[in-house]
Amino acid sequence: MNDEAFVVPGFKASAVSAGLKKDGGLDMALIYCEVEAVGAGVFTTNKVKAAPVILSKEHIRNGKVRAIVANSGNANACTGDQGMSDARDMALIVAQQMGVSEEEVLVCSTGVIGLPLDMSKVRDAIPKLANGLSEDRLMDAARAIMTTDTFPKLSYREAQIGDRPFRVAGIAKGAGMIMPNMATMLCFILTDIEIDAETLSKSLSGVVDRTFNRITVDGDTSTNDTVLIMASGLAGNGKLSESDEKLFVNALEEVASDLATMIVKDGEGATKLVRISVKGSPDQESASKAARTVANSLLVKTALYGNDPNWGRIMAALGRSEIPVRQDSVDIWIGNIQIVSKGLGLGEEAEHRAAEVMKQKRYELIIDLNQGQWEDYMWTCDISHDYVSINADYRT
């Protein structure tokens, strides 16, 4: 894809190597909106929150944003008062540099936990970030927020409201474990749609719930997880009708879904991306619990790695998921191969064919509870030897 395709009117981005990452790679990014943008955010539910999360939640409250400054290499988490002060300084320096208000700057950090940010490096980098701002450097920003991610993650959509085109671009970094600490997900979405803060926030929450909240790598939630959106309004579409709003949410969901599945695909050591779909649930919550429990089961995830249609592990996960499962009504498919009917295995031939499906890089595992009309899903990955290596051996 041509880099030009990623331009969203009103926005510029840049990235530099500030020296926070040991390997000397890009580790700071700035996203700037030339006009006052409408903003919204969704933040980690972890009670241990990194300083930049606390700050950005505070700054986004009024719905007005001009810039996002982000760094990799250091999460600025579990850093106490010094950490809060450093996060505030990052916002302040960017604000002064760009001539905007401090409250209009959002801050995100990802990387090592428990060590103070090297603020002299951050201070030196910010003028360079400002000087480097350009319409077509969003991919560089995607590179600068990577930690153990193996590829930068960017997604882009265009759609139309009436005769007015609008754009949605998003970058994300994934649940590759941050050396040496934890999985952090960051996602920044830019759009030129004209929209009010309340509708933007509502749209983002709904989309996050159907995308980023439907992925799991290892069941751990980071102290730094953040999804931010900024809308420049330059598409000039005027007030959104209900059907316009749906068009926007669709485009937003496509971008978020792209990025969410890229994150799982790039999970540490992951070799495949599997959609766990639960159907026939007696209620929504049970469908969600069942999908989450199966998607997070270590036994299921190692079986996915081994291409093993080990349905007993799936049944056991359903049984402990605190849903009213009736074991003799459960059907299970791997792709289009049914391996369980009414709670009983369909035998070696079916399992052999299912094992073939499991050799694919991406497939669906479908569980039909046959107890109602509700459904839900999760995207998960397998757990491989490399997952253990990445997370055990980083200091050796």
Active centre residues (catalytic): 184
Residue 285 engages a copy of itself in binding (rule: CB under 8 A): no
- What tokens does 4 get? 């030009």
Q: Which is nearer to a copy of itself, 17 or 46 (CB)?
A: 46
CB of 343 to a copy of itself, least distance (A): 6
- AA identity, residue 108: C
List 303, 350, 367, 381, residue binding a copy of itself (CB under 8 A): 303
Among 26, 90, 168, 182, binds a copy of itself (CB under 8 A): 182
Binding mask 84-113 for a copy of itself (x = CB under 8 A): ----------------------------xx
Least Cβ distance, residue 80 to a copy of itself (angstroms): 5
Query: Binding string to a copy of itself for residues 309 to 328, with x set by CB under 8 A, is what?
Result: -xxxx-xxxxxx--xxx-xx
CB of 203 to a copy of itself, least distance (A): 26
Nearest approach, Cβ of residue 288 and a copy of itself (Å)? 16
- The DSSP letter of residue 240 is P
> What is the rounded distance in angstroms from the CA atom of residue 142 to the CA atom of residue 15?
9
Pick the closest to residue 173 from 348, 25, 353 (CA basis).
25
d(CA 205, CA 228): 10
Identify the bridge partners of residue 378 per DSSP, sorted by sequence position: 276
- List the interface residues with a copy of itself, window 13-52 (CB under 8 A): 45-49
Applying CB under 8 A, does 385 fall inside the site for a copy of itself? Answer: yes
- We find the least distance from the C-beta atom of residue 114 to a copy of itself, in angstroms, to be 4
Query: Is the distance from CB of 7 to CB of 134 less than 8 angstroms?
Result: no
Nearer to a copy of itself, 235 or 332 (CB): 332
Query: What are the structure tokens assigned to 123, written together?
Result: 């201070």
Count the residues in the chain: 396
Q: Note whether 90 and 122 are within 8 A (CB).
A: yes
Q: Are 199 and 285 in contact (CB under 8 A)?
A: no
Question: Exactly one of 306, 336, 360, 362 binds a copy of itself (CB under 8 A); which one?
Answer: 306
Q: State in angstroms the smallest separation of the CB of 204 from a copy of itself.
A: 22
Can you spell out the DSSP letters for 6-42? Answer: G--TTEEEEEE--S-STT----EEEEEEEEEEEEEEE
Of 19, 282, 335, 343, the residue at the interface with a copy of itself (CB under 8 A) is 343
**77: contact with a copy of itself by CB under 8 A:** yes
Give every CB contact of residue 235 below 8 A, 6+ residues apart in sequence. Answer: 9, 161, 164, 165, 166, 167, 191, 192, 193, 194
Residue 74: both structure tokens together:
């250091």
Site residues for a copy of itself, window 200-259 (CB under 8 A)?
A: 218-223
Distance between CA atoms of residues 333 and 335, nearest Å: 6
Q: Where are the alpha helices (DSSP H) in 266-347?
A: 284-296, 298-305, 311-319
Candidates 87, 177, 208, 337; binder of a copy of itself (CB under 8 A) is 177
List of residues contacting a copy of itself (CB under 8 A): 45-49, 75, 77-80, 112-115, 177, 180-183, 218-223, 297-299, 302-303, 305-306, 308, 310-313, 315-320, 323-325, 327-328, 342-345, 383-385, 387-389, 391-396
